[in-house]
Chain A
Amino acid sequence: MTSDKKQLDLTAIRERLRAQTGRDYWRSLEELADTEEFRELVHREFPRQASEWTDEVGRRGFLKLMSASLALAGLGACTTQPLEKIIPYVRPPEQLVPGKPLFFATAMTLGGNAIGLLAESHMGRPTKIEGNPSHPASLGATDAYSQASVLSLYDPDRAQAVTERGRIRSWTSLQVALAAEIDTLKTRRGRGLRILTETVGSPTLRFQLQELLRALPQAKWYEYEPVNWDNRREGTRLAFGRPMSFHYRLDQARVVLSLGSDFLCSRPESVRYARDFTARRRARENPSDMNRLYVVESVPSPTGTIADHRLPLRPSELGRFAQALAAGIAGGQPGDGETPGEHSKWLDALARDLSANRGQSLVIPGEFESPEVQRAAHQINSALGNIGKTIEYTPEPDGGRTSQSDGLRELAGEMGDGQADVLIILGANPVYAAPADLKFAERIMKPRLRVHLSPYLDETSRLCHWHVPETHFLEQWSDAEAFDGTVTIVQPLITPLYESRSAHEIVSLLQGRYRSGYDSVRDYWRSQQPGADFEKFWKTALNDGVVPGTGSAAPMAATSAVAPGAQRPQQGRTDTQGDRGEATGGPERRQTGAASPPGSTTQPRPGQRAAAPLVALQSPAQKKSDLEVGSTARPGGASLELIFRPDPSVYDGRFSNNGWLQELPKPLTKLTWDNAALLSPRTAERLGVRSEDVVELRYHGAAVQAPVWVAPGHADECVTVHLGYGREYGGKLATGAGFNAYRLRRSDTPWGGPGLEVRKTGERHRLATTQAHWSIEGRNIVRTGTVEEYQKNPHFVHEKEHGFGPELSLYPEYEYEGNAWGMAIDLNACLGCNACVVACQAENNVPVVGKDQVIKQREMHWLRIDTYHEGNLDNPKTVHQPMLCQQCEKAPCEVVCPVAATVHSSEGLNDMIYNRCVGTRYCSNNCPYKVRRFNFLQFSDKETPSLKVMYNPDVTVRDRGVMEKCTYCVQRINAARIEAKKEDRPIRDGEVVTACQAACPTHAIVFGNINDPNSQVAKLKKLSLNYSVLGELNTQPRTTYLAALRNPNPELGTE
Chain B
Amino acid sequence: MATVDQPKTATPRPEGYEAPPSVLEGDHTYATVTDKISGIVLTRKTPLSWFLIFGVGFSLMMVFFGAVGYLLLKGTGIWGINVPVAWGFAIINFVWWIGIGHAGTLISAILLLMRQEWRTSINRFAEAMTLFAVACAGMFPILHMGRPWLFYWLLPYPNVMSLWPQFRSPLVWDVFAVSTYGTVSLLFWFVGLVPDFGTMRDKAQNGTARVIYGMLSLGWRGSASHWHRYETAYLLLAGLATPLVVSVHTVVSFDFAVSVIPGWHTTVFPPYFVAGAIYSGFAMVLTLVIPIRAIYGLEDMITRRHLNNMAKVMLATGLIVAYGYMIEMFMSWYGANNFEQYMSRNRMAGPYAPIFWSLILCNVLTPQLLWFKRFRNNVVVLFLIAIVVNIGMWLERYVIVITSLHRDYLPSSWGMYHGTIWDYATYAGTIGLFLALMFLFIRVLPMISIFEVRSLVKTNRRPSHTE
Contacts and interface: CB of A to CB of B under 8 A. Distances in A.
Do any CB atoms of chain A lie under 8 A from CB atoms of chain B in the complex?
A: yes
Interface of A: 57-58, 62, 65-66, 69, 72-77, 771-779, 781, 802, 853, 856-858, 864, 866-868, 881, 883, 892, 895-900, 916-922, 924-926, 928-930, 932-938, 960-963, 1029-1030, 1033, 1035
B171 A900 contact: no
A66 B169 contact: no
Given A917-B147, A918-B153, 4 more contacts: A857-B83, A883-B412, A898-B175, A962-B147
A75 B148 CA distance: 12
A867 B175 CA distance: 41
Given A857-B415, A898-B169, A933 B83 contact: yes
A238 B285 CA distance: 88
A936 B72 contact: no
Contact of A1033 (B146, B260, B415): B260
Interface in B27-85: 72-78, 80-84
B405 interface: yes
Contacts of B81: 921, 936
Contact of B413 (A775, A926, A930): A930
B184 interface: no
A76 B141 CA distance: 21
B149 A74 contact: yes
B216 to A, nearest CB: 34
B111 interface: no
Given A775-B411, A776-B411, A857-B82, A925 B75 contact: no
Contacts of A963: 146
A936 B78 CA distance: 8
B228 interface: no
B170 interface: yes
Contacts of A936: 75-77, 81-82, 146
A1030 B414 contact: no
Contacts of B396: none
B303 to A, nearest CB: 46
A924 B405 CA distance: 10
A933 B146 CA distance: 12
A919 B76 contact: yes
A937 B73 contact: no
Contacts of A867: 412
Contacts of B171: 896, 898, 920, 922
A646 to B, nearest CB: 26
A895 B413 contact: no
B455 interface: no
Contact of B166 (A57, A74, A898, A930): A898
B166 A899 contact: yes
A703 to B, nearest CB: 34
A73 B146 CA distance: 11
B408 A928 contact: yes
B150 A925 contact: no
Nearest to A804: B337
B83 A858 contact: yes
B84 A930 contact: yes
Contact of B146 (A62, A866, A895, A917): A917
B412 A960 contact: no
B168 interface: yes
Nearest to B414: A773
Interface of B: 72-78, 80-84, 86-87, 141, 144-151, 153-154, 163-166, 168-172, 175, 255, 258-261, 338-339, 342, 405, 407-416
Given A777-B342, A779-B411, A961-B75, A935 B258 contact: no
B259 A934 contact: no
Closest 3 CB pairs of A and B: A919-B146, A961-B146, A936-B77
Given A62-B73, A74-B150, A961-B147, A898 B410 contact: no
19 contacts: A62-B73, A65-B74, A772-B416, A775-B411, A778-B338, A856-B82, A857-B82, A866-B412, A868-B411, A896-B168, A898-B175, A899-B165, A918-B146, A920-B144, A925-B84, A934-B146, A935-B75, A936-B146, A961-B75
Contacts of A895: 166, 168-169, 258
B338 A802 contact: yes
A771 B258 CA distance: 28
A921 B412 CA distance: 19
A918 B73 contact: no
A919 B148 CA distance: 8
Contacts of A777: 342, 411
A128 to B, nearest CB: 26
A239 to B, nearest CB: 44
A57 B409 CA distance: 30
Contact of B412 (A57, A868, A917, A926): A868
Contacts of A65: 73-74
B172 A928 contact: no
A793 B265 CA distance: 36
Among A65, A75, A1035, max chain B CB count under 10 A is at A65
A858 B83 CA distance: 6
Contacts of B82: 856-858, 936
Nearest to B70: A57
Contacts of A773: 407, 411-412, 414
B149 A76 contact: yes
A1033 B338 CA distance: 12
B146 A930 contact: no
Given A57-B78, A857-B82, A896-B169, A926 B146 contact: no
A759 B285 CA distance: 60
Nearest to A776: B411
A929 B260 CA distance: 11
Contact of B147 (A72, A771, A774): A72
A308 B137 CA distance: 57
A864 B164 CA distance: 34
A1030 B262 CA distance: 13
Contact of B83 (A899, A934, A1035): A934
Contacts of B145: 918-920, 961
A896 B74 contact: no
Contacts of A962: 146-147
B172 to A, nearest CB: 5
B441 to A, nearest CB: 31
B170 A781 contact: no
A916 B87 CA distance: 20
Q: Most chain-A CB neighbours within 10 Å: which of B147, B151, B175, B339?
A: B147
A913 to B, nearest CB: 10
B195 to A, nearest CB: 41
| Among B73, B150, B258, residue most surrounded by chain A Cβ atoms (within 10 Å) | B150
Contact of B260 (A58, A802, A924, A926): A926
Contacts of A776: 411
A86 to B, nearest CB: 24
Instruction: Point out which of B76, B144, B410, B413 has the most chain A C-beta atoms below 10 A from its C-beta.
Output: B410
A899 B412 contact: no
Contacts of A898: 153-154, 165-166, 169, 171-172, 175
Given A69-B72, A892-B260, A925 B87 contact: yes
Nearest to A901: B166
Contacts of A928: 260-261, 408-410
Contacts of B261: 925-926, 928
Given A772-B415, A936-B77, A930 B151 contact: no
B139 to A, nearest CB: 15
A922 B84 CA distance: 11
Nearest to A937: B77
A445 to B, nearest CB: 46
B77 A929 contact: no
A319 B76 CA distance: 55
Contacts of B412: 771, 773, 864, 866-868, 881, 883
Contacts of A900: 163-166
Contacts of B259: 892, 896, 925-926
Nearest to B86: A921
A776 B151 CA distance: 39
Contacts of B78: 57
